[in-house]
Structure 1
Amino acid sequence: MKKERELTPREIVAELDRYIVGQAQAKRAVAIAMRNRWRRMQIEGPIKEEIYPKNILMIGPTGVGKTEIARRLAKLTNSPFIKVEATKFTEVGYVGRDVESIIRDLVHVAVQMVRAEEEKKVLAKARENAEERLVDLLLPKTSTRVEYDPLTREKMLKMLRSGALNDRVVELEVELKPPQPTIEILAASGLEELEMQLREMFSAFLPLKGKKRKVKVAEALEILTKEEASKLIDMDRVVREAIQLTETSGIVFIDEIDKIASRGEGYGPDVSREGVQRDLLPIVEGTTVNTRYGMVRTDYILFIASGAFHISKPSDLIPELQGRFPIRVELSPLSKEDFVRILTEPENAMIKQYQALLKVEGVELEFTREAIEEIAQIAYDLNQKLENIGARRLYTVLEKVLEEVSFNAPDIAPTKVLITREYVREKLGEIISQEELAKFIL
């Protein structure tokens, strides 16, 4: 499995710039963190074990790119990534999910990633084996065990590979996993893993069942290829690699960490909030977590926490947890100019997405520069007047502007639609002028 690509901090920032507008400080911080992780891997000797990742705390309002920076970073570096909300977890002893489930879920993501890589490696061989099995199904059965000559099989294989047999129906036996026994343990923290292990144990006693299905050849080939690939993959090696990948390259993004910051004097719900922080502490600073795949060390996993900190502030977190996030990055609210860039510049820019969607119907969508600036201005003004939801406001505004075009697209295609400033004002003017109405619609 390929580890972090050897990207320099400048290259990482340039890659992030392709998808995320602004927030240069946050991009630099994560780029340095990833490069330091690569540098650590190059070090020989005992000091390597002493170098721990510097976890990052991102502070900024919703919709400014905190989650997207972490997600794009993980994709860029082929790292196992998981996003969790801090508010979903409860202190050990309370009903709810415990924080160790974060690591269990992260390992599962890594196993899926490594397995997908292994499947690519064995795909050619698996496809070949699947084709041979499919030829056996396609050749007519005889009462006597007659072996077909190689020329007949070769001819059938050529027809299969050319797609000439795709619409023929074959009957094949598909392996079905035994039904999961309904075992439920009261969801006290820490018992989710026990529940999973009990289910697996009972499943082992139930025989694998086969079910006969009639499917077209094209679908049968996919089903058989997956079955053959599973036989060729060494799952023990996959699990070993996945655990190693998690320990050295895992990224955990903890959102809404400001919601578990204590603001009181140790009574009411703040007690449980502080309990979650104390449970997070050993995982962030480095511990060993027992998962269904084996023991996983969290010492070198990179943790990125984020929060708006409107009501609380980072100093409201318990001091020990504050110390585990030494890099603080403040993300700035988005301006009108940022909105214009978000609409047009990134590779997955919102306007490009809508143009691609409507092109499917044969409608060519074009925006004038003035229309884009008007949409950006309206989104910015709404964020100032109502709740500031950052770039997500652009989706709300664009949906309303393009509602009629999207609805009528099948009837008016093929055609070209030009969105002008006047068109935008016509669609949104009445709603914006009535602030109470805007609260509900935009």
Structure 2
Amino acid sequence: MSDKDFIIIDELDQKDKEEENEVVDKKDTSVVTQDTKEDDDDGYEKYCLICHRPESVAGKMIDLPNHITVCSDCMQKSFDAMTNGSVDYSKLFNMPGVQFLNMSDLDNMTPKSQKIKKKKEKPKEFHKLDIKDIPAPHKIKAQLDEYVVGQEYAKKAMSVAVYNHYKRVATDTMDDIEIEKSNMLMIGPTGSGKTYLVKTLAKLLDVPLAITDATSLTEAGYIGDDIESVVSKLLAAADNDVERAEQGIIFIDEIDKIAKKKNSSQRDVSGESVQQGLLKLLEGSEVEVPVGANSKNAMVPLTTVNTKNILFICGGAFPDLEEIIKERLSHKTSMGFNAELKDKYEHDKEILSKVTVEDLRTFGMIPEFIGRLPIIFTLKGLDKDMLVKILKEPKNAILKQYKKLLALDEVNLEFNDEALEAIAEKAMKKNTGARALRAIIEEFMLDIMYEIPKDDSIGQVTITREYIEGVGGPIIQLRGQAIPRLN
């Protein structure tokens, strides 16, 4: 062989070695890429350099040189600014004093690993209802008695309805016999405890509760909340857990505000139309609701919630309903031996308890809506004795709250019975039910709460009727003896 032949063979061997090295390099790079993929799931996630949103919020990131990641929203905004902006960027290159940022300049600015630690998601604990765990009606009522004063019939009706409803949910199927829902309608004057009863009930049963206002609901397409927004609020209360939300309670307050308007030629978008829209929810149907928002739009994902097992409780004051009941009851013959006096029902304090479905139809509720609320009960207006009991008997009574506040300053707070009666009398004049009690006590306790921390020698404060009526002051007892002060 000649020298040329040896040179050719050496070159071929060198090429073969280079090809082998390239194959090894490719294998190494594949291993590296595989390792980086495994590293992506190491509890860290990328975040946008511009808006600082993590990948779990902003979506998949766009990788740029020098370990830079940008979300698609910020990238799109940058493109829009460059293409649609009013500034001609081509003219800026030749302007003195204007410098553009090079990608290579970001080497020292950006971190080598633009990642943040992922938030640990708490495992969702879903407590499935067991028929053995559902408390009996008398136990539910006994627990309600600790928080709510009076309203015996309302508490009894609610206890039975809730017990039957959750028995239906727990058993799921009853062979050939299907139990219908026990939706409720509560009628009572303002401040009688409608919302408080529902809040207490949901707390005792440990189920998600959504309280919404019917006044904001309108027909789809009009300004206001859609009908499905009541279900999306329940979903939010259940931490977006659909299964838990489907066993919850929805309380629609001010339901009397969606009564059908009388003698109106305009479209009733917030009255009869809302009642018709609520029919499918009360009956039980699958509704698409947005996750994490009240209104549907393209940026919010939708999920399907079945309202078959959701308990609906509607409540309202229904003003002027008493006049409708009186008119119906007194609409009899006023002559003869069986005649009734016209003012027989004029001063009847329990006139609301005589309400019928026909009275509600006259008020403006459509028959299809009333038919889906089979359990109708009323709450009594609060009298003086009930207001005094509300002040001191419930577990979290207003007086107990103030006693605890002053006990933190090592001061004992007492109220005379006459003082409690004076507070109840003032609340009766306001005609806003139990809500007036808090306002009255806040007014008279202001000076006491201001003055007490000044003097460490005060041991006890006794509120008297004279102080409530503004003709005297409370009795201040020092650590040694009692003397009247704060006149």
Under a length normalisation based on structure 1, what TM-score does the superposition of the two structures give?
A: 0.63
Matching residue of 1:389: 432
Q: Matched residues in 1 for 2:162 and 2:243: separation?
A: 17
Cross-structure match for 1:103: 231
Contact 2:165 2:182 in 1 (8 A): no
Distance in 1 between the 2:177 and 2:217 partners? 30
Aligned to 2:97: none
Aligned residue runs from structure 1 range 245-394, under 5 A: 245-247=244-246, 249-268=247-266, 270-291=268-289, 292=291, 294-311=303-320, 314-315=360-361, 316-380=364-428, 382-383=429-430, 388-394=431-437
Q: Deviations over 1:234-259 (max 9, x none)?
A: xxxxx6xx322222x21000000101
Greater RCO between the two (CA within 8 Å, min separation 6)?
A: 1
Give the CA deviation at 1:364: 2.0
| Distance of 1:356 and 1:274 partners within structure 2 | 48
The offset of 1:6, in angstroms, is: 1.9
Counterparts of 1:45 and 1:11 in 2: how far apart (Å)? Answer: 25
The 3 A distance-change label for structure 1 pair 244 and 88 is same
How far apart are the structure 2 equivalents of 1:89 and 1:257?
10
- State how far apart, in whole Å, the 1-side matches of 2:170 and 2:439 are: 47
- What does residue 349 of structure 2 align with? none
- Offset, 1:311: 3.4
Residue among 83, 106, 127 paired with 1:2:
127
Letter in 2 for 1:322: I
CA distance in 1, matches of 2:376, 2:170: 26
How far did 1:413 drift? 3.6
State how 1:34-433 maps to structure 2 within 5 Å.
34-41=162-169, 43=171, 45=173, 47=175, 50-111=178-239, 242-247=241-246, 249-268=247-266, 270-291=268-289, 292=291, 294-311=303-320, 314-315=360-361, 316-380=364-428, 382-383=429-430, 388-415=431-458, 416-426=460-470
Question: Which position in structure 1 is the counterpart of 2:156?
Answer: 28
Tell me the amino acid that sits aligned with residue 250 of structure 1: G
Residue 3 of structure 1, CA deviation? 4.8
Q: Write the distance in 1 (CA, Å) between the matches of 2:425 and 2:148.
A: 19
- Greater shift after overlay, 289-298 or 77-86? 289-298
RMSD of the TM alignment (CA)?
2.2
CA distance in 2, matches of 1:3, 1:68: 26
Asked if the contact 2:217/2:224 (under 8 Å) is kept, the reply is: yes
Tell which deviates more after alignment, 14-23 or 36-45.
Answer: 36-45
Matched, 1:14 2:142: yes
CA-CA distance at 1:414 after TM superposition: 4.7
Residue 42 of structure 1: how far off its partner (Å): 5.0
Gaps spanning 5+ residues in structure 1: where?
112-238, 430-442
CA distance in 2, matches of 1:41, 1:299: 9
SS in 2 for 1:21: coil
Give the C-alpha shift of residue 350 in structure 1: 0.7
- 1:307 shift after superposition: 0.7
| Distance of 1:82 and 1:106 partners within structure 2 | 5
Q: Is the 1:264–1:270 contact (alpha carbons within 8 Å) kept by the matching residues of 2?
A: no
Are 1:367 and 1:419, in contact at CA under 8 Å, matched by a contact in 2?
A: yes
Largest Rg, 1 or 2: 2
1:296 is paired with a residue of what secondary structure?
strand
Deviations 1:274-320, CA, capped at 9 Å, x for gaps: 11111111111111112336311001111100111113662211111
| Sequence identity (%) | 42
Instruction: Please state whether the residue corresponding to 2:212 is helix, strand or coil.
Output: strand
Output the CA distance in 2 between the equivalents of 1:58 and 1:7. Answer: 22
Alignment length (residue pairs): 294
Structure 2 CA distance for partners of 1:411 and 1:60, relative to 1, 3 Å: same
Query: What are the superposed Cα offsets for residues 369-418 of structure 1, whole Å, 9 maximum, x if unpaired?
Result: 221122112222x13xxxx2100111111112212101212213452111
Shift of 1:272: 3.4
SS at match of 2:271: helix
Q: Is the 8 A contact 2:261 2:271 kept in 1?
A: no
Residues 359 and 46 of structure 1: CA distance in aligned 2, closer, same or farther (over 3 Å)? closer
Query: What's the TM-score once normalised by structure 2's chain length?
Result: 0.57
- Aligned residue for 2:262, secondary structure, equals coil
